Structure 1
């Protein structure tokens, strides 16, 4: 009888032990590996296809439940979704499973840079130092720490990290070179306002962004007051009580110039450029400003040309290049912004592509390029 109880107890214990084992999904092909699905998931993340990325990371976890890779990916994917509780849980699981590598340290730096919560940069630096002790020559580690410094507006340290990646001449060289070029532009432009620093990091700025840059970085109000053309009030004045019989008129309710900016964070700057009537930033006929509409290089050229004419008083600039040949293979002389493009490029406010000579009038404008143009504009006006 005792023997039966012992056998039964052993059976229960054995079942309990083996029942707790993590189920591992067998691969279906040679390429069906955690590494493959992890890298594939990262590619999806780069394209902002978060749901597809999550499927890849789930597969990586299913194939190797004790590998950190799938959890790192899931942490980044949850971070993209804004679910930072789940994101950090997965990243911490990855760190528990990773014994010798630094992939989870890099993942944590990326996640901290997404959330930017309390002490996020300090914690990122801790992760960086811990990983560097294991692998001092990791290009991905230095690259993502560079991105962390970039979004914290520490452009000097960001540049240092990107230069280190370039010196290694291994992975992420192309990406680091592009980031370093952006940082150099920002450093040359030297944005003086917090909003300027924030917009400097935007790849494609919109109408609201450029309005903020004109107000905060160009100081367009002061520029117009100091250098702008004089204005005279020649409008009709109604008779006063002293000179005419008092008349009662109907109250007229005037519509706002732009009705779609009421709750916009950059409304004060938008109101300013609307008041100054900057060409290219006027409201539409339906009284909308379209603050989120991306601006093109051609549109930005028109804006800069208009401001230059107004502050210099040189009206001839508006037609200076009419009839002149185009210097750019992709800009016809009948382009609506041809004269403006010629004006701003001749002044060095905006540059054409050095390799092809193309101006690319339909391309979007980055925050760094806009800041650099504004800096050069102010330098030439000695303002």
Structure 2
């Protein structure tokens, strides 16, 4: 019988990898806490209409990449391909917007049926921020600053911010007419995907990675030329705010993002450490999405960063970033009575805040001590047959043992309470 394997693009995260993921998540959580941004968690499964209406039926995400199926109630359901639409749906459904502007963040798995590659899988993970009810240009700069500071706190180097304005809906309608006419005149020179997008999603043609199309687009009309005076003034205010924060940026008139709901500010943060797959965070303003999904007219801006790509980048850095948290104590025992006392000791120490692993193998002490050495724990608690009779525990300093010092032998035999007190003093914990 063939062994079972995970589906393509669905990747297991093994214990030795988790430390780095937890480091990223903990750093993000702390950055959000400092910025007064609250966590929200939404379901992985939503009605398909949410994404069709929110992301846009003409996008590649909705048209080609979603995991969609009928449930037993004949309802069309979709595994969420991104987080913003779900957060907006939750805010509308639970009346959060009636309580004032919302500063929210989320994290978790998303699903898209696309070709797996380094840093990109079919089940992937995002951390994202959504500021709902914020219209001013400074809020755009603040959202970008939170992302920038998070990446800097993680030690990501070579950061660069690319910035563009997609203008208002009216601006884009004017520009769409200009761009469609220009593209139609050059249809035969475009790649096949761009030809298919001329009428369905012409702005996405600007984001084509096809070399020939990119060369041709150098002569295309620019979106900046279609921006109204108000849109231009707003974009200038965003740039001024970023300059005041000391965050460098470059203007990229071809930056349009991949989802229909964006308006005005669009941005990507890239890292020179990632090579071709340089984008680690992207987002923008989406002032029309809340109303489009049935809520009140609400300005909003947000972003998301891809965990897989970020972890890949961090794992390539020279300095280690996040080894798994070290154990404080490793408990070894031999015999049935000793095993019961080892179980009680492990629980006592865990309740006091120590990280403890209990060896349940019942193997010879030599083998258990080898595992204790590999565990990374500073101390080993030893309970043999005599300790079990006396109600005592031997304490062994594993670092001293590794260096051949006298502490290699458990020359201290203490009561469980005294052992805990000694460990707390050694570790300088209350």
Band of TM-score, shorter chain: under 0.3
RCO higher in structure (CA 8 A, sep ≥6): 2
- Rg: which structure is higher? 1
> TM-score normalized by structure 1?
0.23
Structure with the higher strand share, 1 or 2: 2
Structure with the higher helix share, 1 or 2: 1
